[in-house]
Structure 1
């Protein structure tokens, strides 16, 4: 297992490098640059070509693109993600301040969404062909077709405006930083993200469980007189987990993308808001730092999903 993990880490390192090249190239070749974002057109019109060239030199924008990338890569490998051009703070400090809220929100949504999806999927498979099965099968299809920002706005209107149950903005109420207040603020954005996880996962869980429940060893286990709960949990569910683990491992990138929208709607101070600010200010250093953190988390999550195969089914051997 350790040899496999080492090989996957090496492959992941190559993937991270390729991602950094593509993103850096895309950010650098996009119209405009940090200087045009910082200065208004009125200010640019009053500057001479020499003054503009001096400002571009100060930002390092006059150097060749490959040289700028190599400089960034060396700095990143040494642990220095650079300085944000939009606020003058170290990129690592900006990311550290926003990573916790996003990790908290995404982690809670992933756990809640997965638990709900597994329970609903198993229930739909056990009651296959009944009204409960049709209901649990049709609701996820409906939810998948609704954009995340629409769900977020609908949740705000229903649970905040109409019933006043939850706050609509921020992470804490001013003057109240208790855990209960945090949960109230997290309820709506976390639920919207959890729905995005649970909706497709219910379908995968149901299909996987139906496939396993029709297997010969399940029929044999029932014929031996084993308790239905033991057949369902110890035999069927454990073997149905393998394809489900794959889906859960691939959910993280979608959740991060969804978090960008959800955090904007709910004013959640996480990586989503930071990414929007970096993109709006053409802050290459900050955007690259965000991309590196997200890419590393995706690579590590996929590796953990592969290693979870062995835990779920000892017959699986990683080679």
Structure 2
């Protein structure tokens, strides 16, 4: 019963946050230079075109009425029309979002698969030379800009070694992306590098904390082997803060995808956002901001739910 109430409360909180996000995006739309009509139609629009656009879109109405209409169009999946591509923004995002999800999910999986055992290994070898070396490399990886790391990967693995292509998979469908697995390697590695640096540090700290707990001492006193203690007891409890942070890391993943996609010419939402920024295509920009914000809220919600499931000690009243 407590879990059900907790889930209901978190879902309601997420809906409120999403509603606030729509208000912010609506305000950004009306804060465009020259107003929404000028921002959407472009600087070459005439006064007659602007007046016609304002009348067609109902921009002469009071702002609360406009917001209600805007919310209604969002619920119907209408994010406006790109004035540079002359195509519905929802359609553009529908085409690009799955590709970005593939890139971010693969990067996250690779990052976690490396960070979790690496962090535990550091904790077991705390204050030894290998711990200092990995910590230093983690700080360097975290401080290195994604675009610089991507350029280094391109230079080394496409020019010097000639192992991978310099361009990410091209094509309109996900099948085209998966048909070129070699081309996915460098973008995924570039996206995962900073995640390995960050989450290995969290995993190390969480493992060190759990190694001091009474249940570990009890397991040791009972004759359990160190490896079994780490796998059966420490790993699960150490994952709790990592899972909690994963939901908050969603915007970082999308932000990294923007740079990675532009660098490797990967046809996802990041490249779409970059191209829209270059051409001041405001409907596309705001549509991408809205989708990424909603994805962040959903990611945080899922992280909280998973955290509660994997950690029975978590109480709804303290979350």
RMSD: 2.4
Shift of 1:106: 0.2
1: CA distance, partners of 2:278 / 2:62 = 21
Which of 35, 49, 54 aligns to 1:55? It is: 49
Matching of residues 31-110 of structure 1 within 5 Å: 31=33, 35=38, 44=44, 52-60=46-54, 63=60, 66=63, 68-110=66-108
- The answer (yes or no) to whether the contact 1:38–1:281 under 8 Å persists in 2 is no
1: CA distance, partners of 2:171 / 2:153 = 19
Do structure 1's residue 261 and structure 2's residue 278 form an aligned pair?
no
- The answer (yes or no) to whether the contact 2:40–2:83 under 8 Å persists in 1 is no
2: CA distance, partners of 1:288 / 1:37 = 11
Matching of residues 137-176 of structure 1 within 5 Å: 137-172=135-170
- The answer (yes or no) to whether the contact 1:152–1:262 under 8 Å persists in 2 is yes
* SS at structure 2 position matched to 1:316: coil
Per-residue displacement from partner, 1:154-206 (whole Å, max 9, x unpaired)? 111111111111111241499xx777752211111110110121111111111
- The answer (yes or no) to whether the contact 2:39–2:282 under 8 Å persists in 1 is no
The count of aligned residue pairs is 308
2:190 matched to which residue of 1?
192
Shift of 1:234: 1.0
1: CA distance, partners of 2:262 / 2:286 = 20
1:47 matched to which residue of 2?
none
Do structure 1's residue 318 and structure 2's residue 312 form an aligned pair?
no
Per-residue displacement from partner, 1:265-300 (whole Å, max 9, x unpaired)? 110100011112333333333233222321222122
1: CA distance, partners of 2:188 / 2:135 = 22
- The answer (yes or no) to whether the contact 2:96–2:268 under 8 Å persists in 1 is yes
2: CA distance, partners of 1:82 / 1:37 = 10
Scaled by the length of structure 1, the TM-score of the pair is 0.88
Change (3 A) 1:281 1:6: farther
2: CA distance, partners of 1:242 / 1:93 = 37
- The answer (yes or no) to whether the contact 2:261–2:267 under 8 Å persists in 1 is yes
- The answer (yes or no) to whether the contact 1:23–1:288 under 8 Å persists in 2 is yes
* SS at structure 2 position matched to 1:59: helix
2: CA distance, partners of 1:27 / 1:82 = 11
- The answer (yes or no) to whether the contact 2:33–2:39 under 8 Å persists in 1 is no
Q: Which runs of 5+ in 2 are unaligned?
A: none
Change (3 A) 1:78 1:173: closer
Is the deviation greater in 268-277 or in 102-111? 268-277
